[in-house]
Structure 1
Amino acid sequence: MNPALQAGFGREMLAHWPLETGVIYLNHGTVGATPRRVLAAQQALREEMEQQPARFLLRELCGLSGPSDRAVPRLREAASAVARFMGAQGPDLVFVDNATAGVNAVLGSLELNPGDQILITNLAYGAVRNAAAFSAERRGARLVTLELPFPGAEPALYINRLSQALTPRTRLVILDHITSETALVLPLAEMAACCRAAGVPVLADGAHAPGAIPLDIPRLGVDYYTGNLHKWALAPKGCGFLWVAPERQQGLHPPVISWGLGQGFVQEFDWVGTKDPTPFLAAPAALALMQEWGLEAMQAYNHHLARQALAWLSARWGFEPPAPEAMLGSMVTLPLPAALGSTRQEALRLQYALLYEHRIEAPILCLGGRLWVRISAQVYNSLEDVEALALALEAYK
């Protein structure tokens, strides 16, 4: 028996989440789902904050507005715990609301001249593409799109295509660690090494990576890494981070300029105005819970379940696996039978039919003139959920 299956994971784990009873939730990758214990930790922080808001926010949170009896500011304490989880150092990591905010911070601080290029791939998240296009257009630069194949090919092909796409005018490459719609785990370290050899900095969009796969950010060789903790790392909503290599921190600013301006990378990001910081402060509780459940066991279970879904559905519906084993994580995006449709309108209609008629939450996508389903495997899911999804979809053929 696979060791991951001995950890007690499956539908019984639903007791740890406040997910709606009776709904099959195969969409953890979209906005995550926060366990009850982490929500309780966040609520305790909110209540503590409201007992003495000025002390909590102005003196204890980041140490920007006066003395505190805390040896380490609250945000720095949380940042150090999060950084350790990903093999990094606390001073190199700051919190942002989400990965998109991290991308905007890097793009907004990037020096661009007319004719310069930002390179992005066709597999990039739509919001990130919009941010890159906006940043390039306002400065007379160009957004260049590198076409990468999906269904996937061997990792070497992605590296070779990236190498050929770099030019002397490339000022930044934005690479996904795990692509959003297509759920491919890209060979990020090798692609970053290719860019580094050409002298081009890399911004990694790791929205789906923390918690889902083993992660040691400094070893990836990227210049910037932004990710979400409210997806696979189980933190409350609105909890992301931006890691920046020490040599890239000077001159990097948050999208919101506030009282920390000119006081360094950490101070600028730690205070961007009054907001609820409890998602960030509760993130260590989420990471501790994953360690308690067994982080490696969770990742192994989710990966195994994604592989099971791929094998079972490819045999049932007669398609070739869309990605090699090396590019599969805790999610998998699979083609649907052609009879189910081929347009975005049909994808949306089918997704809503799944939810409202069968109580199954799973994204239906239209890619390349064909419908696909993306399945997220979390420890509260089982192969029974995938089987129920298949039966529901087949009712519309």
Structure 2
Amino acid sequence: MPFFSNLGSDSPHFGAALSACAPLCERSLWGLDPQAVFLNHGSYGATPKKVLQAQSVWRERLEAQPVQFMGEELPRALRAAAAELAHFVGAEPENLVFVENATSGVNAVLRSLRFRPEDQIACTNHGYGAVRQALQYICAQWGAIPVEAQIPFPIAGPEQVIAAFEAILTPQTRLAVLDHLTSPTALIYPLPELIGLCRERGIPVLVDGAHAPGVLPLELEKLGADWYTGNAHKWLFAPKGCAFLWVAPYRQAQTHPTVISHGYGQGFTAEFDWVGTRDPSAWLAISAALAFIQGVGLDNIRQHNHTLLLQARQLLLEALEGIPPAPEKMLGFMATLPLPPFWQQWIPELPLGERARRLHDYLWHTYRIEVPIIPFAGQLWVRISAQVYNRLAEYEQLALALQHLP
């Protein structure tokens, strides 16, 4: 059950987190354009200036003596940073390695596995586009078959996710690729139950947890997955290019990075920690990112963001005369909402994806509002994010902008 499951709109604590967190989270702590309404933390995150400064210090140390840093200092520093992140996500340090992003983590796992023709890989229609592409590539290589569970959206509750996913599992299912928190629809999946279905059938599980770290409490050693990858550059405030891959000990011998280098054959962490010359400063700055979270207060962040999200969602639904497409308990710091009928019919001669792009660009160039427009299930949606630098008035600006066609 999510940490914030008791913070519904009828809770006595519904508004308390906003005032509690605000003094510690002024927007000036970030380098965001002060003229922009930034409601899209979910895509790439936004890194606090303090964390970027820590990253710069690591770069300066590297450049002061690159040979000594790469050969002597980096191996120790990288494992120390991995240990800090592992503690935060409930993992043992030796089971966690850094990758550039969750897509890299998914690809490392998929490319390490072997399939036979007609093997099936179970996933869902709410999966992230890049991961779905990776599955298509792997299946084309081996002759395997991707099978998508058709999760409804709008959705009544997590039981619909469980029923739809269970329906596609067969004796030919060799792998399950599951989201923890979906990208297009912003839904928290009932992951323990889904993993349980797979465990009963002996199906290995790869979890795309791109959006989960920082939003949901994680205990990776207890979750029951075989592989779990997540981003730190989204909701953990780390610099871009900071993510992790957790691998259960019994899967580590068969799991390799997408780039094979000097560490091959020397163990799981050795293979991933060194794949050639690259800038490791984003990974090493995770300590500063976690310190920033501690300074603000993790509970404060979670309460503020979830409370603000629910308020913003209600505001937008009322302004756009929409119906909630998901229950509050399936939401974290993001929500995907339907656009009004007049936006659905806007420029009907263009493909849905192109219409989404044009509406996004219109909102940005006309109102300086950055928010994703999602083409999904044959219609257009707007996905809002709530972060500690956001205020309710920004969502009011979005509501006004969306109430009329250009």
Same fold by TM-score greater than 0.5: yes
Partner of 2:386: 377
Asked if 2 retains the 8 angstrom alpha-carbon contact of 1:98 and 1:239, the reply is yes
Q: How does 1:63-78 map to 2 (within 5 A)?
A: 73-78=76-81
When normalised by structure 1's length, the TM-score is: 0.95
1:234 maps to which of 231, 237, 240: 237
The 2-side partners of 1:364 and 1:11 are apart by 30
Asked if 2 retains the 8 angstrom alpha-carbon contact of 1:226 and 1:243, the reply is yes
Name the aligned partner's letter for residue 54 of structure 1.
Answer: V
**1:58 matched to 2:75:** no
Distance 1:359 1:226, change over 3 A: same
Give me the identity figure in percent: 52
Q: Which runs of 5+ in 2 are unaligned?
A: 1-12, 346-351
Q: How does 1:83-232 map to 2 (within 5 A)?
A: 83-232=86-235
Asked if 2 retains the 8 angstrom alpha-carbon contact of 1:341 and 1:347, the reply is no
The 2-side partners of 1:210 and 1:79 are apart by 14
**1:365 matched to 2:359:** no
Distance apart, 1:11 and its partner CA = 10
Name the aligned partner's letter for residue 376 of structure 2.
Answer: L
The 2-side partners of 1:216 and 1:300 are apart by 20
**1:24 matched to 2:37:** yes
Asked if 1 retains the 8 angstrom alpha-carbon contact of 2:149 and 2:167, the reply is no
The 1-side partners of 2:193 and 2:336 are apart by 23
The 2-side partners of 1:252 and 1:183 are apart by 29
* Alignment root-mean-square deviation, CA: 1.4
Distance apart, 1:148 and its partner CA = 0.8
Secondary structure of residue in 2 paired with 1:250: helix
Asked if 1 retains the 8 angstrom alpha-carbon contact of 2:117 and 2:144, the reply is yes
Name segments (4+ residues, structure 1) moved above 3 Å.
none
The 1-side partners of 2:353 and 2:208 are apart by 25
The 1-side partners of 2:101 and 2:61 are apart by 24
**1:353 matched to 2:362:** yes
The 1-side partners of 2:178 and 2:209 are apart by 9
Q: How does 1:332-351 map to 2 (within 5 A)?
A: 332-342=335-345, 343-351=352-360
- CA offset digits 1:67-101 (Å, max 9, x no partner): xxxxxx11110000000011111100000000000
Secondary structure of residue in 1 paired with 2:22: coil
The 2-side partners of 1:59 and 1:260 are apart by 15
Secondary structure of residue in 2 paired with 1:372: strand
Partner of 1:278: 281
Distance 1:12 1:78, change over 3 A: closer
Asked if 2 retains the 8 angstrom alpha-carbon contact of 1:11 and 1:380, the reply is no
Asked if 2 retains the 8 angstrom alpha-carbon contact of 1:201 and 1:222, the reply is yes
Partner of 2:4: none
The 1-side partners of 2:247 and 2:25 are apart by 39
Partner of 2:254: 251
Distance apart, 1:313 and its partner CA = 1.8
Distance apart, 1:182 and its partner CA = 0.7
Distance apart, 1:213 and its partner CA = 2.2
Asked if 1 retains the 8 angstrom alpha-carbon contact of 2:364 and 2:370, the reply is yes
Q: Structure 1 residues 309-318 or 352-361, which shifts more? A: 309-318
Secondary structure of residue in 1 paired with 2:254: coil
The 2-side partners of 1:7 and 1:45 are apart by 33
- CA offset digits 1:326-365 (Å, max 9, x no partner): 2110000001111113433222111111111101000112
Name the aligned partner's letter for residue 332 of structure 1.
Answer: A
Secondary structure of residue in 2 paired with 1:173: strand
- CA offset digits 1:124-168 (Å, max 9, x no partner): 001001111111110111111111111123111211222221111
Q: Structure 1 residues 275-284 or 110-119, which shifts more? A: 110-119
Secondary structure of residue in 2 paired with 1:345: helix
Asked if 2 retains the 8 angstrom alpha-carbon contact of 1:10 and 1:381, the reply is no
Q: Which runs of 5+ in 1 are unaligned?
A: 63-72
Asked if 1 retains the 8 angstrom alpha-carbon contact of 2:335 and 2:383, the reply is yes
Asked if 2 retains the 8 angstrom alpha-carbon contact of 1:116 and 1:169, the reply is yes
The 2-side partners of 1:6 and 1:163 are apart by 43
Partner of 1:3: 16
Asked if 2 retains the 8 angstrom alpha-carbon contact of 1:347 and 1:366, the reply is yes
Partner of 2:46: 33
Q: Structure 1 residues 32-41 or 104-113, which shifts more? A: 104-113
The 2-side partners of 1:350 and 1:108 are apart by 37
Partner of 2:3: none
Distance 1:395 1:164, change over 3 A: closer
**Residue correspondences, number:** 387
When normalised by structure 2's length, the TM-score is: 0.93
**1:46 matched to 2:46:** no
Partner of 2:7: none
